[in-house]
Structure 1
Amino acid sequence: MAHASASIRIAATPDAVWQLIGGFNSLPDWLPYIPTSELSEGGRVRRLATPGGDVIVERLEAFDHRQRSYSYSILQAPFPVTGYRSTLSVTAIEDGQAAQVDWSGEFTPDGVSDEEATHLFEGIYRDGLKALAHSFAN
């Protein structure tokens, strides 16, 4: 099993960051390469569309509002991996005056090396977190 992760410091309170990213259907609010998200199964499954028309279907596996984190798995995607599970979390730093956002995932590469799959998801996480930080830029 391979692993990828990225983190970023955001100059906003953890509650403000969680307010933006904490909803399982909120990716279009901060992630430019996911312009649409549709919920089904009582809000536990999201169907995402990319600008290129790719479809990604994900299932919410765990949600903790108090700890500001959620985990999800991929049910369908154009990625060369299986068994994908990811966690997005927000932690207070600097006495609660800033937030650290961590995005990590575990997966089994399918048809590519561990390094290629890890590089793919680290890029997705890193670019996504940069876009999130831009949402809070003055």
Structure 2
Amino acid sequence: MATTTASVDVPASADRVWQLVGGFDSLPDWLPYIPTSALSDGGRVRSLTNDDGGVIVERLEAFDNKARTYSYSILQAPFPVTGYLSTLTVHETPGQDTARVEWSGTFTPDGVSDDEAIALFHSIYADGLAALAQTLTRHAA
């Protein structure tokens, strides 16, 4: 099993960041390469479409509004991994109007090395968090 984590500090309160990212259907609001998300199964499954028309289906596994975190698994995706579980968490920075957003995942590479799978998901997380920081900066202006 392989793991990776990326994080970013953003110039907004944890509550404000969670309002943007905390909805399981909210990826199109802050992640430019996921323009479409559709919920099913009572809001527990999201079907995402990326810029290339590829479909990724994910299931919400855990949600804690108070702790500002949720975890999800992949049901269907063009990724070379199995057993994927990811967590997105917004941490408050005490005494400051900033927050740290952390995106982590565990998975078993399938047909690729651990290093290749880790590099793939670390890049997805880091690029996604950079897009989140840009979205928050744009909305703050």
Runs of 4+ aligned residues of structure 1 deviating over 6 Å after TM superposition are none
- Once the two structures are superposed, residues 73-116 of structure 1 have per-residue CA deviations (whole angstroms, 9 ceiling, x without a partner) of 00000000000000000001142411000000000000000000
Which residue matches 1:30? 30
* Corresponding residue number in structure 1 for 2:81: 81
Which consecutive residues of structure 1, in runs of 5 or more, have no partner in the other structure?
A: none
Match of 1:6 in 2: 6
Aligned equivalents of 1:75, 1:50: Cα separation in 2: 16
- 1:126 aligns to what? 126
Aligned to 1:39: 39
Give 2:63's aligned residue. Answer: 63
- TM-score, normalization by structure 1: 0.98
Secondary structure of 1:108's match?
strand
CA distance in 2, matches of 1:23, 1:95: 26
How many residues were matched structurally? 138
In structure 2, distance between residues paired with 1:7 and 1:67: 17
CA RMSD of aligned residues (A): 0.7
- State the partner residue of 2:53: 53
What letter is aligned with 2:95? D
Tell me the percent identity. 64
**Aligned mates of 1:133, 1:20 — CA distance in 2:** 11
Partners of 2:50 and 2:116 in 1: how far apart?
Answer: 21
SS at the partner of 1:131?
Answer: helix
Where 1:111 maps in the other structure, the secondary structure is: coil
Give the deviation of 1:19 after TM superposition. 0.3
Structure 2 gap ranges (5+): none
Offset of residue 33 of structure 1:
0.7
